[in-house]
Amino acid sequence: MTERTILDQLSYRELPAILVSATLPDDEPFDTDPLNELAALADTGGMDVVGRVYQNLERINPRTYIGKGKVAEIAELVKDTGARIVIFDNELRPSQQKNVEEAVKADVIDRTELILSIFNQHVRTRQAKVQVQLAQAEYELPRLKNLWTHLERQRAAVGAVGGAGERQIETDRRLLRNRISALKKELQDIGRRRAVEVERRHELFQVSIVGYTNAGKSTLMNALTDEGVLTEDKLFATLDTRTCVWKLPDHKVLLSDTVGFIRNLPHRLVASFHATLEEVLHADLLLHVVDASHPAAIEMVNAVNSVLKEVGADDRRTLMVLNKIDNIQDQPQLTHLQMTYPEHIAVSAKTGEGITELANKVQEVVEERETALDWTFSAGNGKLLAYLQQHGKILDINYEDSDVHVKALIEPRYYGVAAALKDA
């Protein structure tokens, strides 16, 4: 079993891994194989899955989470396969993690730690890095005693801040708590700056893409904007929010791609990424992208809705985008999704099918919010005419002597300025 160091970067790339699923009576089925998603996460993290272990539990074993017999089975599998790491699709307590590690003679991590490892590998911007570091530090704090074997040593009395006999673990805890405080402060500063940036964009209608990880959000953004966002057939391929202008037939809107969601997303990650999700909170419309070809599509929708509710964005106007229709083998499944979510557009971001229909539907939503104008004003009022042409949609225009008669649609946010120009 490898020894870790404080604030380890949680990188397990290229290690042979065994996956473990422990299912309780109240757990809702998510897929035909409960370890398929964990296997995809392990693949994204660069690990080689060499075995899978399943157990249906009546209750959680307080010492090892799973039963004693299953622990012995995993230990044998570790010997036979040379696995270096065991990954639970459940969140383990620190003591359970330690007890299983000692029994199977391999590192043991849970679903949360694996997701943190993946996030750590994929972050690019400073904001995302701070968010991951904060979530990682909060995860490690209760596990200090189990992560490092040297922590039971007594700290030397000479020059010790805490006096004779202070244990090293207490020093490390204090250092980690200080780091958590510093990261929270930095994240608050970043969040304030980002909120100002988002607020400055209020002049344009804002659309945010949300959805389960690997639902095709980045591919859709590329199809809509030619922005060239990274796309990979892996979970959490992109973590940093990207915003650009999306040109609709008669409007321009701001389109943002956000971090993908996942079931049982650790609460500490939701809290840490709250600043990133500012785009969602300020959006006028959410495009909820769903992998319509996945057998657990509805469960994925529910997982995303759960996170949206947690961050306070569940009241946003939402349009379901049923993606990957080119990959659908089960037509009744698509029909069921279409009936379940009546306000939807079926698309293939990969082939372009349905993209024009999606753009037209979003334009309809934009225009639903607009105020109809039927104004007559002096033809010399060029400022007003230019403003209506730039910020509204001219439906009809007629010149009569020295006057101009205009019928137009304009968003409420621009109406006040237009009215002031008219009365000037």
Segment 327-344 mean pLDDT = 89
Which tens digit of pLDDT belongs to each residue from 175-190?
889 999 999 898 888 7
Comparing 119-123, 268-272, 311-315, 380-384, the range with the smallest average pLDDT is 268-272
**Which band of pLDDT confidence, cut at 50, 70 and 90, is reported for residue 233?**
low
If you average pLDDT over each of 31-35, 144-148, 241-245, 393-397, which comes out highest?
393-397
**Which band of pLDDT confidence, cut at 50, 70 and 90, is reported for residue 100?**
very high
| The pLDDT of residue 240 is above 60 | yes
Q: How far, in Å, CA of 142 to CA of 145, rounded?
A: 8
Query: What CATH superfamily classification does 204-367 receive?
Result: P-loop containing nucleotide triphosphate hydrolases (3.40.50.300)
**Which band of pLDDT confidence, cut at 50, 70 and 90, is reported for residue 274?**
low
Q: How far, in Å, CA of 290 to CA of 133, rounded?
A: 29
Q: How far, in Å, CA of 353 to CA of 219, rounded?
A: 13
Count of helix runs (H) and strand runs (E) in the chain? 15, 13
Is the distance from CB of 237 to CB of 230 less than 8 angstroms? Answer: yes
**Which band of pLDDT confidence, cut at 50, 70 and 90, is reported for residue 237?**
low
Instruction: Quote the pLDDT of residue 272.
Output: 62
Which tens digit of pLDDT belongs to each residue from 177-228?
999 999 989 888 877 777 666 666 566 788 999 999 889 998 999 899 876 6
| The pLDDT of residue 359 is above 70 | yes
| The pLDDT of residue 149 is above 60 | no
Instruction: Quote the pLDDT of residue 238.
Output: 59
Amino acid at 137: A
Instruction: Quote the pLDDT of residue 311.
Output: 80
CA-based nearest residue to 215, from 306, 313, 304, 100? 304
Instruction: Quote the pLDDT of residue 227.
Output: 67
| The pLDDT of residue 290 is above 60 | yes
Q: What is the pTM of this model?
A: 0.76
Segment 272-286 mean pLDDT = 75
**307-316, long-range: CB within 8 Å, 24+ apart, which pairs?**
307/261, 307/265, 307/270, 308/210, 308/280, 310/267, 310/270, 311/270, 311/274, 311/277, 311/280, 311/281, 312/281, 313/277, 313/280, 313/281, 313/283, 313/286, 316/280, 316/283, 316/284, 316/285, 316/286
- The correct CATH number of 16-118 out of 3.40.630.10, 3.30.479.10, 3.40.367.20, 3.40.50.11060 is 3.40.50.11060
Instruction: Quote the pLDDT of residue 218.
Output: 86
Residue carrying the six token digits 């968003």:
411
Segment 343-364 mean pLDDT = 94
Quote the mean pLDDT of the chain: 83
Pull the structure tokens for residue 306.
């759960």
Comparing 62-71, 75-84, 159-168, 216-225, the range with the smallest average pLDDT is 159-168
What is the three-class DSSP state of 23? Answer: strand
Q: How far, in Å, CA of 372 to CA of 393, rounded?
A: 10
**Which band of pLDDT confidence, cut at 50, 70 and 90, is reported for residue 33?**
confident
Segment 330-335 mean pLDDT = 87
User: How many Cβ atoms are within 10 Å of 241's Cβ, its own excluded?
Assistant: 23
